[in-house]
Structure formats: structure tokens, C-alpha cells
């Protein structure tokens, strides 16, 4: 009788160990997701739509900075999202920032020349609409760099290690982009309100 309960306990422990390993390995496989996308002679807009529908990526961009009607071909097999985006935006002077399933695409600008007057600092604050409600997932992109940030569930942001003075482009779906000039001496929190 004792050996039966011992065997049952051993099987239960083995089962729990396997279940735990499966749970722990799932996020690893999701973060290393490989994408397969094959499209010929389509517009950038069509490729973005296909990427959104098949892989659930949210791509934020300014239509004035990206040629959405440009004809491209994408042939990606088991590729990373960066490799797919390189093919989609091939030939365009754009840069992108990937944050989870959100991608911000902006026109690539020349690297700013080093200035002795630049100060590196961290700026925190909140992005809100005209009623003071937080804007979740608003993007803040430092012009002339590949540095971008997204607001959290409470509309909060934290821009770290930024060289000032700097222009910051604030974008949110359904709102016009706002360019905010920052000198680096702004009081923290530095709240941004869409009008």
C-alpha cells in the first residue's frame, strides 16, 4: 500500500515539474517569434496591414514621412520582426523603434552634431488629452535619433539619457503629431497635454 502512494506522489511530482517547465518556456518561445511573410509587388500599406493582421503588430507612423504607396516585395521565412521591417521599408530613409507589439516608424534624420552645450538628463511626466485623461501608448520620439518611448497604462513616460536641447515628437492615434522643444531644464514631472 505504501509503495502505491509513493509511486502516485512520484508521478504527480513528475507531472507538476513538466507542467512548470512548459509554462516557463512559453514566454521564451513567444519572445523569439519567427515571422514568415511572402508578398510580391504590394504597397507598403498593404504589407503593414498584412503584418498587423497576421502577427498582431501595431505600427504607428506619419504618412507624410513614409511612402505608403511604394511598391515592394517581401520574402521572409522564419525572420525576426526587424528583418521583416527592413524589407518593408527598404529604400526609404526611416527608422523604427520596437516596443513589444508596438512599432513606431519615423523619417530617419541626420545625427545631430555634437555640441558642447548639450546636457543629458531624464525627463518624466504624463501625456494627457484635453480633458486630462491619460493617453495610453502615446509615442515620444526624439527628433534626429532612433530614441523613442511609449506611455504606460496611466499615460506616464520616462525619457532617459536624452541630450538636450531636443525636439520631441509626440504621437497618438487620432491626434495630430505635436513637436515639443525641450531645453533640458524643464520641471519634472513635465506633463504634455493634447489640445
Model-level pTM?
0.43
Mean pLDDT calculated for residue range 126-155: 91
Euclidean distance between CA atoms 30 and 14, whole angstroms? 25
Backbone dihedral angles phi then psi of residue 80, each to the nearest 5 degrees: -80, 165
Is 1 a residue whose pLDDT tops 60? no
Joined together, the cell numbers standing for residue 158 give 520616462
Q: Which of 3-12, 101-110, 157-166 has the lowest mean pLDDT?
A: 3-12
Q: Where are the domains of the chain?
A: 35-107, 119-193
Q: What is the pLDDT of residue 30?
A: 41
Q: What's the chain's average pLDDT?
A: 81
CATH T-level topology, domain 119-193: Immunoglobulin-like (2.60.40)
Euclidean distance between CA atoms 151 and 143, whole angstroms? 17
The reply to whether 119-193 shares the fold of 35-107 is: no
CATH T-level topology, domain 35-107: Phage tail protein beta-alpha-beta fold (3.55.50)
Amino acid at each position: 500500500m505504501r509503495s502505491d502512494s509513493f509511486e502516485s506522489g512520484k508521478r504527480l511530482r513528475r507531472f507538476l515539474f513538466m507542467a512548470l517547465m512548459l509554462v516557463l518556456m512559453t514566454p521564451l518561445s513567444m519572445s523569439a517569434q519567427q515571422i514568415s511573410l511572402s508578398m510580391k509587388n504590394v504597397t507598403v500599406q498593404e504589407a503593414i496591414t498584412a503584418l498587423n493582421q497576421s502577427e498582431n503588430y501595431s505600427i504607428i507612423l506619419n504618412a507624410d514621412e513614409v511612402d505608403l504607396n511604394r511598391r515592394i516585395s517581401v520574402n521572409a521565412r522564419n525572420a525576426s520582426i526587424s528583418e521583416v521591417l527592413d524589407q518593408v521599408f527598404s529604400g526609404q530613409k526611416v527608422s523604427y523603434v520596437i516596443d513589444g507589439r508596438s512599432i513606431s516608424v519615423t523619417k530617419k534624420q541626420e545625427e545631430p552634431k555634437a555640441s558642447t552645450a548639450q546636457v543629458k538628463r531624464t525627463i518624466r511626466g504624463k501625456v494627457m488629452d484635453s480633458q486630462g485623461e491619460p493617453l495610453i501608448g502615446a509615442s515620444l520620439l526624439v527628433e534626429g535619433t532612433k530614441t523613442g518611448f511609449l506611455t504606460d497604462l496611466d499615460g506616464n513616460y520616462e525619457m532617459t539619457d536624452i541630450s538636450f536641447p531636443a525636439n520631441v515628437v509626440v504621437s497618438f492615434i487620432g491626434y495630430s503629431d505635436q513637436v515639443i522643444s525641450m531645453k533640458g531644464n524643464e520641471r519634472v514631472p513635465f506633463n504634455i497635454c493634447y489640445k
